[in-house]
Every structure is written in C-alpha cells, then in structure tokens.
Amino acid sequence: MGSLHRVTALLLRYFYLLRSSWPRLLEIAYWPTIQMIIWGFTSVYFSDSSPELTAGGILISAVLVWDSLFRSHISYTLSFLEEMWSRNLANLFVSPLRSWELILALATISMIRTLIGMTPAALLAIPFFGVSVFEMGLPLLGFFLNLVLTGWSISQVVTGILLRYGLGAESLTWMLPFLLAPFSCIYYPLETLP
Amino acid sequence: MTNKEIRVEARGLTKYFGKFCAVDHLSFSLGKGSLTGLLGGNGAGKTTTISMLLGLLNPTAGSVHVFNRDLAREKGSILPRMNFCSPYVDLPQRLTVWENLSVFARLYRVPQPRERIEELTEEFRLGDLLKKPIRRLSSGQKTRVSLVKALINQPDFLLLDEPTASLSPDISLWIRDRLQKYRDSTGATILFASHDMREVELLCDHVMLMNRGKLVAQGSPDSLIKQYNCSSLEEVFLSLNRTD
C-alpha cells in the first residue's frame, strides 16, 4: 500500500509537469506525427519505382513501430532528467521512495507518454496514406511491448550512466537508441546488412 | 545518554573519494531533542557527513545508526522519520507550491495531507503563494517552501544543510525561531550544518567543529568558548584552524 502511494505521488508529479506546459504536451504527439508524414510522402514517392518497398504501407508501419522504442526510451529518460535538471533527485532519494518504485513510476509515465504520442500518428496514417498499423492485429501488441521494453532497457543504462557521471553524459539519451537503428533494419531489409 | 535517548550515532564514519579523504573516522551521537550545529569551513566535510547520514553516500568505513537501527540495512524504516533541507537541492521549478507539497506529502504518506500543508504554509506565511510556481518565488520564499517540505512528515530527525545561506538577517532570525519552536514542541533531533558561527552560537545547544574531515572539537557553544579562552565561537573556529 505504501509503495502504491509513493508511485502515485511520482505520477502526480509528472502529471503536474505535463499540465504546466501545453507545448510540452503537444510535443509528445508532434514528433511521431511529423515522422509519419515525412515517411508517408517518401513512401508515396517510391511507390511507383519500388513497389516492394512500400507495399501494404510497410515503410510507414515500420517507422511507427520503431518510433515506439525511441519514444518509450525518451519519455522514461526525460522524466528522470527532469529530476536532475530541477535538482530534485536528492529530495527523492532521501524520501522513503525505493529504487524499484522510481523505476515503476518512470516506466508508467513513459508508457502513458508513448501512447499519447503514438496513437494520433497511427490514427492519422489511416486517412493520410491509407495505412493502418492496427491491421497487424495481435502481433502489433507483441512488437509494441517488445520495443517498449527494449526502450526502457536502454533508459536503464542511460540513467545509470547519468547517475554516475552527471549531466555531462546527457547527450547519451539521444545517441544510444540511434546506435541500434542501423542494425534494426527499419528502413531496409535485413539482407542489406553486410 | 542512554540508548533510548540516542537518536543518531555515527561510528568511525569515513569517506574517501579516490585517494582524497573527505571524512576521517568521525564518531558522535545526537540525543533526542538536541539541536546540534555542524561547523566547518569550505571543504571541511560537512556536506559529505550529512550525505552519509541521509544514506545518499555509502561510507568507505564506519556505520550510521538512526533510531538504534543500522541505516545501511534498514533505510526503509528509517527514512520515513527523517527529512532534510539544503540550498543545494531544489524543488521542481515548474510545479506550484501546493503541487510540490502535495507530491511530498503523498511520498511520505502524511495522514490528512491537505490539513498538514495548510497548517505548515500558514505557519511559514506561504498561504498566498500556494498557486505560484516555485520558479517565481524569491530565494527567501523558496527556502521557506523547502523548510515546509522538510517538516511535512513531522520528522524525528531533521538535517539542515546551511538552510539560511544567502538569506537576509531578518529571515534567518525568523527561520531560527521556527526551528527552535519545532524542536521544543516535538522533541525532534536537529542537525544544522553551517559556516555562520554566530548563527550556530545563537541556535544550537551542542556544536561539532570539523576541519579537513576530522572532528576537532565538540561541546556546548559556551563550554567551547571557555575551553579555548575565546570570546566567540568564531574565534574558537579560527584558533583551531590556525593551530592545525
């Protein structure tokens, strides 16, 4: 019961933070939607010359599903960074909050933010480009959860480094997930890799 | 002091950062209802000591017992009864005073949080600022909010790291008065780190003087002044630094 109180206390803190700035709230959905639009047009452009690349909206779907990894990682790590930027970490660490409760709160807010960000992009892809990721059915849930968990795993590594080395390591937040991207074959088939 | 009266006990507390010894075999005990000043110049080891007492830093050697429990092993049962305030730690700037205090009241599982926040903010003259974001407050107002946060769970052991640093003398006096009242009404143990000798002399009934990570003297302000044949705590501090 005490754990539930502490986790909800942190969720309340992140909710207040989101509520305090509408541009931040808008930004959560902004980037995935822009990604979807850019790759949607790219897909349309290639549809005549390389139909195998764009058939069934595969490129847009791949970009959207991949973005759930990036968004879940960014949402988790940015919430943690907020505590560092506002110099509030010590207040949290001397409170009864336990490490796993902090991780649970960060993961929960990350999931909420990822869903807020990805849902409009996925829904808008239907009228804009006639592509629905929801047609994947249950495998979509599997893909999504797998990628979100991978995103959180990267976040765990990044937050560990941030705790050890401080804000000097902040740029790793953006760098580490992109390290995976070339080997994840989002924009090209696996056979392309050497 | 009997075991029941001892709230905090440090035994051989030592902290190394690489080869640098920040705190060197520090041993002391703080009794129930005591208001102790931790004095020392810059780099004396005050903040490192406080960090170890809070469980933020693991000591290289030695142990800390709070409420007769080992802090390293029983943090979960000790931390709900402690709190702290420091000018080096902020509250989230974008959140309002009320939002911040609500979050911490929930973190500490304060019974009747709304009433507790109203009671404390009234006492610390923050009633009109509840809807203001922290970033719009003056430094004096921010310190008062941090103190309210530190008192939200009515801690039995309160650590204050230079809580009046960079405040005007009238606000410092007002805060000292509030801390004394809190100690008198609750019997809380307060550790007050500062390099303002005059402030510690006025507020504390026990003083520990640190220099280069070591505890070089301790006692009541009056006894230390007599012992070192000085006219103020500041002179005691300067004489100890000179002879070192």
Q: Going from the first residue of chain B to its last (244 residues), give the mean pLDDT of each consecutive group of 10, the final group possibly shorter.
A: 78 96 95 93 89 95 96 94 92 95 96 96 93 93 94 96 80 88 94 86 91 92 91 86 60
Chain A contact set for B106 (CB, 8 A):
5-6, 8-9, 12
One-letter identity of residue B124: F
Chain A contact set for B107 (CB, 8 A):
5-6, 9-10, 92, 95-97
Rg (CA), chain A: 18
The residue behind tokens 């309340």 is: A12
Q: What is the pLDDT of residue B196?
A: 81
Nearest alpha carbon to residue B49 among B69, B30, B74, B77: B30
Distance CA(A7)–CA(B156), nearest Å, equals 24
Q: Is the model's pLDDT at A8 over the cut of 70?
A: yes
**CA of residue B244 relative to chain centroid, distance:** 26
Is A23 exposed, middle or buried, given 0-12, 13-18 or 19+ CB atoms closer than 10 A? exposed
Distance CA(B19)–CA(A125), nearest Å, equals 59
Average pLDDT over residues A19-25: 87
CB contact under 8 A, A96 and B94: no
Chain B contact set for A104 (CB, 8 A):
none
Q: In the Cβ-directed half-sphere of A168, how many Cα atoms lie within 13 Å?
A: 3
Distance (Å) from the alpha carbon of B79 to chain A's nearest alpha carbon: 5
Mutate to test the interface with B, among A12, A86, A101, A102 (most CBs of B within 10 A): A86
3-class SS at B31?
strand
CB contact under 8 A, A88 and B133: no
The residue behind tokens 């923050």 is: B126
User: Domain residue spans in chain A?
Assistant: 2-186
Helix (H) or strand (E) holding B9: strand B6-17
CATH 3.40.50.300, domain B6-243, yes or no: yes
Complex confidence, ipTM: 0.89
Q: What is the pLDDT of residue A53?
A: 67
Mutate to test the interface with B, among A4, A79, A95 (most CBs of B within 10 A): A95
Mutate to test the interface with A, among B52, B103, B142 (most CBs of A within 10 A): B103
3-class SS at B192?
strand
Nearest alpha carbon to residue B214 among B12, B31, B5: B12
Which chain B residue has the Cα nearest residue A90? Answer: B89
CB-nearest partner of A17 from B83, B89, B94: B94
pTM reported for the whole predicted model: 0.89
Q: What is the pLDDT of residue B4?
A: 58
Per-residue pLDDT reduced to its tens digit, A121-178: 999 999 999 999 998 899 999 999 999 999 999 999 999 999 999 998 899 888 888 8
- Computed over every residue of chain A, the mean pLDDT equals 91
The residue behind tokens 């949607």 is: A40
Q: What is the pLDDT of residue B1?
A: 60
CB contact under 8 A, A6 and B92: no
Chain A contact set for B47 (CB, 8 A):
none
Which chain A residue has the Cα nearest residue B159? Answer: A94
Residue B122 touches chain A, beta carbons under 8 Å = no
Provide long-range contacts, Cβ within 8 A and 24+ apart, for A184-191. Answer: A184/A66, A186/A62, A186/A63, A186/A66, A187/A59, A187/A62, A187/A63
Q: What is the pLDDT of residue A108?
A: 97
- Contact yes or no for B113/B106 (Cβ under 8 A): yes
DSSP for residue B96: B
Q: Which two tokens stand for residue B29?
A: 């005990």
CB contact under 8 A, B91 and A91: yes
Which chain B residue has the Cα nearest residue A7? Answer: B107
Residues belonging to chain A: 194
Mutate to test the interface with B, among A10, A13, A81, A84 (most CBs of B within 10 A): A13
Chain A contact set for B99 (CB, 8 A):
12-13, 16
Distance CA(B149)–CA(B220), nearest Å, equals 29
Which chain B residue has the Cα nearest residue A86? Answer: B92
CB contact under 8 A, A21 and B93: no
